[in-house]
Homo-oligomer: A and B are copies of this chain.
Amino acid sequence: MQIDDIQQVRRFNRLVTQRAGALEESYLSRGRPLGEARLLFEIGVAGGCDVALLRTRLGLDSGYLSRLLRSLERQRLVELRKAEGDGRARSVVLTEKGREEFEAYEALSDEVAEDLLSLLDEPRRKRLIAAMGEIERLLRGAALEISVEDPASADARWCLEQYFAELSARFENGFDPGKGGGPPSSEMRPPNGWLLVARIDREPVGCGALMRLDEVAGEIKRVWTAPAARGLGVAARLMGRLEALARDAGFSIVRLDTNRTLSEARAMYRKLGYVEIPRYNDNPYAHHWFEKRL
């Protein structure tokens, strides 16, 4: 690692935190301490949620959070009620007045961003946005964690549900997991199957599975990235890990199939070194088959 790089990061951090301080200051303009403003904002973004979620998201002490909520309640900005399902927990929602306040904070955030952009002419603005997007993708992608997961875990099931829902939305004739979903999820457990879940900041953002086809070949299935995490290279990282798993399991070949509507996926497989091969299974939803020698 180069010293120049470190210096660049440090200069950048200094500059950006300085500018970002403008946001905190603008938040204070509504005459409410920052802690309360942040809390109100977080409740608004979540659109009402359980107190426990706020506690972990903002990293607050439970006593402290309780008091902050009480204060917002006294200001008639939020309402607290018992959470459904668990009588111990409580959930918060914004009142009408709270929603107005939240929107005022939204407007302030927009304003700060707009002020920044207005300093630049159109081509420079484009470059700034592009560079910000690049940094965002790189940093979010860097925070990606991939782990082998039991297919029955809550996050795994969530990912798979999303995946199937997306297939049935995108495939020309819909999608029925029973017909083309391949092996049931319960088989995606070692030693003949592996399910990976990718997370960013604890939140699941993607999945992928490897199944044993025979002694020498594995099959990659159910590679999916959450819409919010696309463009970060999540799928490519999942593929890499699946191939590593395949190698560790002693496979020398991995195969996969895909539907013709998923053209981005096909482009990615090619880029990763997969070559198209003849049909090797009877999946009615597949139009292309690929393999890669490890």
Contacts and interface: CB of A to CB of B under 8 A. Distances in A.
B5 A136 contact: no
| Copy total for this chain | 2
Q: Which of the four size classes fits the interface of chain A?
A: 35 or more
Contacts of A134: 127-128, 131
A53 interface: no
B15 A114 contact: no
A166 to B, nearest CB: 23
Mostly, the A contact residues are helix
A128 B140 CA distance: 12
Contacts of A143: 119
A20 interface: yes
Interface string A86-117: 00000000000000000000000110111011
B142 A1 contact: no
Nearest to A45: B14
A129 B1 contact: no
B142 A120 contact: yes
A133 B15 contact: no
B138 A131 contact: yes
5 contacts: A13-B16, A13-B20, A15-B140, A16-B139, A131-B138
Interface of A: 1, 5-13, 15-17, 19-20, 23, 109-110, 112-114, 116-120, 124-125, 127-129, 131-136, 138-143
